[in-house]
Each structure stands twice: as structure tokens, then as C-alpha cells.
Amino acid sequence: MYWYFVVAFWTGCRPSEIIALTWQDVDFLNKQIYINKGRVNGVQQETTKTNKARFVDLNDFAFEAFQQLRLLTYLKYEHVFICDETGKEFTTQKSLSEKFVAALKANGLRYRPAYNTRHTYATVCLMNGLNPVYVASQLGHSLVMLMMRYAKWINSDKNKEEIAKISNSAKIVSNKKGIKLCV
């Protein structure tokens, strides 16, 4: 369970996408996972929620999780995530959600749905200045959808740095006829 939540928090993938992952979807060489299916209410979906496959880059935390999971399940199972209690792949997200809620409660934290791991990933990325286009592609969102949901989390402390990029990329040259912009 621990590694599931590391992957959930550090990739932003939907729970249905995570439990559908097979080892064939994990690219250790390029540090990516291929998200092309989901598993909802026990039924394997042949596409993602948005019907678009995508590659998700793995940061160091998520990559470490897959390395550890490889030691646990790679040779024994087709699926990456296996239920500790049954020894079988997950068919629904219910038991994962229950474990998440129990962990929150045990640590004195208020209820949140397990899906919030996805929202946490998105807000952490945006608050740390990652390019919104990149974040949208990682989440499988359109840029419009990402901005509608998460724009408030874009770090405004970096606004001065952003405007400086314009100043640093162009030279303003003055002449008798007026100002000429040279890029």
C-alpha cells in the first residue's frame, strides 16, 4: 500500500489508471510509465477516462517506488500493484480508498478522498513553477481544464521573475524615429 500512495502522490495519475498498470507499461530506461487504460468497478477499460494515452515522467520519488515494487511483484505478477490481503491485482479502488482514509484518521487529519493525491500533485507542481503545459500533459488534462481547476495555485511570487524574462530576452534600441525592439 505504501508504494501505491507514493506513486499516486508523485505522478498525479488517477487511481483507476494506477491499479491498471502492468509491468509492460513501466519504462525504467526512460523513467516513464505509459498510461493507456483504467480499471473501474472491476472492469478493465481499454482506454483512459479521457480516451487519450500518455507518457508520465517519473520523478525520483516515483521512480524509487517502481524500483521497490519491481522487487516485490515483477517476476510473480503481470500487474504492478497487488492487494496484500488477496495476493491478486486490484479490481476496484475501494480498498485503497479505505486504507487512505484510515491513515488520515490515524494521523489526526480530516477526511479527504484518495483521489486528492492527484490534486496534491497538480498543486505542488504549479506552486513550484512547473510549466502548466507540462503539468497538463502529465495529468492527461487539456491546458484549459488545468487552468480552470488549478490556476489559483500558480505561484505569483515568481511574477517578477517572469516579467524579467521578457526584459532579458529583448533589447530596446532608441533612435530618432522612435523605439525599435530587437529580439
171 located within any domain: no
Query: Is 174 within the bounds of a domain?
Result: no
Range of the domain at 26: 2-156
Reduced to 3 states (helix: H, G, I; strand: E, B; else coil), residue 172 is strand
**183 in a domain, yes or no?**
no
100/97 Cα distance (integer angstroms): 5
Residue 72, in any domain of the structure:
yes
10 domain residue, yes or no? yes
Where residue 101 sits, what CATH number does that domain have? 1.10.443.10
pLDDT exceeds cutoff 90 at 160: no
The pLDDT value given to residue 5: 92
Q: What is the pLDDT of residues 35-76, one digit of tens each?
A: 999 888 777 777 777 778 999 999 999 999 999 999 998 888
Q: Out of 15-24, 41-50, 53-62, 101-110, pick the least confident.
A: 41-50
Where in the chain does DSSP place strands (E)?
26-27, 32-35, 38-40, 43-45, 54-57, 171-175, 178-182
State the amino acid at position 155 in one-letter form: N
> Is 66 among the domain residues?
yes
CA-to-CA dists, residue 158 to 115, 138, 144, 164, angstroms? 28, 22, 21, 10
pLDDT > 80? residue 176: no
In a domain, 165, yes or no: no
User: Which of 168 and 105 is assigned the larger pLDDT?
Assistant: 105
Into how many domains does the chain fold?
1
Which range has the worst mean pLDDT, 10-19, 90-99, 129-138? Answer: 90-99
Q: Which band of pLDDT confidence, cut at 50, 70 and 90, is reported for residue 180?
A: low
In a domain, 181, yes or no: no
In the chain, DSSP finds a helix count (H) and a strand count (E) of: 8, 7
pTM beyond 0.85: the answer is no
Percent of the chain with pLDDT over 90: 54
Which one, of 104, 158, 115, 140, lies nearest residue 19 by Cα? 115
